[in-house]
Amino acid sequence: MGFLSEVLGNLGIGEQQALMFALLLPFFPLLLIVNRRIRERGRPPLRPIPGYAELQEYLGEATESGRSAHVSMGTGGIGTGATAESLAALNVLEHVAAQAAATGLDVVATVSDPSLWPVAQDVVREARVAQGYPESNDPGCVRFVSSDKVAYAAGVMDILGHEDVSCNVMVGSFGDEFLLISEVGARNGLRQVGGTTSPQILPFVYPSMDQTLIGEEIFAAGAYLLGKTSHLASLAVQDWLRSAIILTILIGILVRSLA
Amino acid sequence: MRRIGRAVSVGLRRSLPMAMAMAIGSLMLLDFFFDEAHINALGGFFLESTVIIVAFALLLGLLNVLTVHLRRIIKREGGWIYSIALVSIALIVIIAGIPGPESAGVTWIFDHIQFPLQAATFSLLAFFVATAAYRGLRVRSLEALAFVLTAVIVLIGQVPVGRYLGEFVPALKDWILNVPSTAGVRGIIIGVALGTIATGVRVLMGFDRPYTSERDSTQ
């Protein structure tokens, strides 16, 4: 171990960074292998996530009622610490936008970080182009509200309270402002699906949302909603690495207990 | 000739952004793991560039806000009066900020309007927590029952009256917070970490391309 620490020290890598490297490195080859296997053998079975299953129903209800769907992509952005959550929110938006373009449902998407706005705009526009309705693209359907979290919450609360919204989807990085937004939705009787990665905010999500996406479930949107092969492959790799971590923890407990 | 040119153009439009994303992403990863002067310098340069790009994105965001609300005003859509207020206030703050972000006007606006409004809006959280808790305490399923029981035990264990009921109440509260709750939080954190790594690796390897119109190369 001393030799390993010396080698790592010479390379300028700390012990914690080395552990992170050890977790990161297997991802690359495993993702390639599993991705190829899925393309050859077909889609693997996935456990049901009620949040994604019910989302389809809520979007259908919104379409039938002639009202709109709102997608909140959180207060994170591209290039921030919440980039992964923001990319997960983009996957959800891509699905909602595709459904909306196919059925004529109105979508309002709101962002708090301006770096996310052009990407979200592009996602919605591409969905309409893919469905053959490029002329129906409305630049005002993706709105930058405010980079201040409280102002963002106030803006979204106004949208949920005064615009004709039937379904509210909140996926991404959120703080306490989640509850401000979700409570307005709950009080107005909106059908709500929400998820975030912060354990401090999840207790707000559960009571105020009809369906909850807990932690990493938001990263599964690409697999469940869009059926993307690479996302299915990364779910499998995540499962394997999670099993390896659990095994390591159990072995560590045994070694410590017996030593 | 035209066909070749078009093919080259399409190829560049697809591969160039992906190549840039993969190269710069890999560089930033190396910068994180290795302490080397040249890599550090390049990594620092790209991080500073991000700040500049975000500043331009903020301008785009402001234009979007003005576009949405000006359209609402022109078409007299619902709430257009409030849109007038928003646009007017935005212009006032922009003009007040011309001398600089630390100017007297901007400081006054933030100290006397922005921060009090933020505090007032966040104060609603206390009441919203109560209504959310009331809604969450309706026992609709086994999960909700566990939620309710846990909430009741922890609530009673936190207040002094819990100790009068018996020493086991605060002890049970401590056990719930230290064992199953912490275990659940750690499980969520591990899962989120793996999900975050997976998202980053997909972008690094070019499977996910949020920066182009062709989002996934392996649909």
3-state secondary structure of A23: helix
Q: What share of chain B is helix, strand, coil (3-state, %, to 5)?
A: 80, 0, 15
Mean of per-residue pLDDT scores for chain B = 87
What are the pLDDT digits (tens) for A163-188?
899 999 999 999 999 999 999 999 99
pLDDT at B39: 86
3-state secondary structure of A143: strand
Q: How far is B189 from chain A (nearest CA, A)?
A: 8
Of A6-15, A151-160, B204-213, the least confident: A6-15
pLDDT confidence bin for B180, thresholds 50/70/90: very high
Which of A83, A183, A237 lies nearest to residue B128, judging by beta carbons? A183
d(CA A116, CA B157): 43
* Touching B: A residues 156-195, CB under 8 Å: 158, 162-163, 176, 179-180, 182-183, 186-187
d(CA A42, CA A66): 37
Inspect the interface and report whether the beta carbons of A140 and B67 lie closer than 8 Å: yes
d(CA B156, CA B171): 11
Contacts of B209 in chain A (CB under 8 A): none
pLDDT confidence bin for A231, thresholds 50/70/90: very high
Q: Once rounded to an integer, what is the mean pLDDT over residues A220-234?
A: 94
**A197 part of contact set with chain B, CB < 8 Å:** yes
Question: Cα separations (Å) of A198 from B126, B146, B194?
Answer: 19, 21, 14
Beta bridge partners of A214: A196
Q: How far is A178 from chain B (nearest CA, A)?
A: 10
Which of A23, A117, A214 lies nearest to residue B57, judging by beta carbons? A117
Q: Once rounded to an integer, what is the mean pLDDT over residues B196-215?
A: 83
Question: Both tokens of residue A136?
Answer: 């129906």
Question: Both tokens of residue B152?
Answer: 């009741």
State the residue for tokens 């690479």.
A230
pLDDT confidence bin for A2, thresholds 50/70/90: low
pLDDT confidence bin for B149, thresholds 50/70/90: confident
More confident residue, B150 or B2: B150
What are the pLDDT digits (tens) for B83-120?
999 999 999 999 999 998 888 999 999 999 999 999 99
Q: Are B137 and A208 in contact (CB under 8 A)?
A: no
pLDDT confidence bin for A143, thresholds 50/70/90: very high
Question: Cα separations (Å) of B21 from B32, B53, B198?
Answer: 16, 15, 16
Q: Domain A50-226: which topology?
A: Rossmann fold (3.40.50)
Question: Both tokens of residue B97?
Answer: 């900020």
**B152 pLDDT more than 90:** no
Nearest CA in chain A to B59: A114
3-state secondary structure of A169: strand
Percentage of residues in chain B having pLDDT higher than 90: 41
**B126 pLDDT more than 70:** yes
What are the pLDDT digits (tens) for A68-122?
999 999 999 988 889 999 999 999 999 999 999 999 899 999 999 999 999 999 9
pLDDT at A145: 94
Q: Once rounded to an integer, what is the mean pLDDT over residues A39-48?
A: 92
Which of A77, A87, A183 lies nearest to residue B199, judging by beta carbons? A87
d(CA B209, CA A95): 16
Contacts of B190 in chain A (CB under 8 A): 242, 245
pLDDT confidence bin for A10, thresholds 50/70/90: low
ipTM, 2 dp:
0.89
pLDDT at A7: 62
**A252 pLDDT more than 90:** yes
d(CA A156, CA B67): 17
pLDDT at B218: 46
Domains of chain A, by residue range, sit at 50-226
pLDDT at A201: 94
**In which element (H, E) is residue A172 found?**
strand A165-173
Nearest CA in chain A to B134: A207
pLDDT at B219: 43
Residue A166 neighbours by CB under 8 Å, 6+ apart:
A58, A61, A62, A65, A67, A68, A69, A190, A191
**A228 part of contact set with chain B, CB < 8 Å:** yes
Q: Once rounded to an integer, what is the mean pLDDT over residues A151-167?
A: 93
Residue A243 neighbours by CB under 8 Å, 6+ apart:
none
Question: Cα separations (Å) of A159 from A90, A133, A194?
Answer: 20, 25, 17
What are the pLDDT digits (tens) for B28-84?
888 888 888 888 899 899 988 888 988 899 999 999 999 999 999 999 988 899 999
The model's pTM is 0.89
Q: What share of chain A is helix, strand, coil (3-state, %, to 5)?
A: 65, 15, 20
pLDDT at A109: 96
pLDDT confidence bin for A3, thresholds 50/70/90: low
Nearest to B208 by CA among A199, A147, A127, A84: A84
**B214 pLDDT more than 70:** no
Question: Both tokens of residue A167?
Answer: 């379904």
pLDDT at A5: 58
**A247 pLDDT more than 70:** yes
3-state secondary structure of A71: strand
Question: Cα separations (Å) of A6 from A1, A15, A17, B30?
Answer: 9, 10, 14, 19
Q: How far is A74 from chain B (nearest CA, A)?
A: 15
Beta strands A142-144 and A165-173: pairing type?
unpaired
Mean of per-residue pLDDT scores for chain A = 90
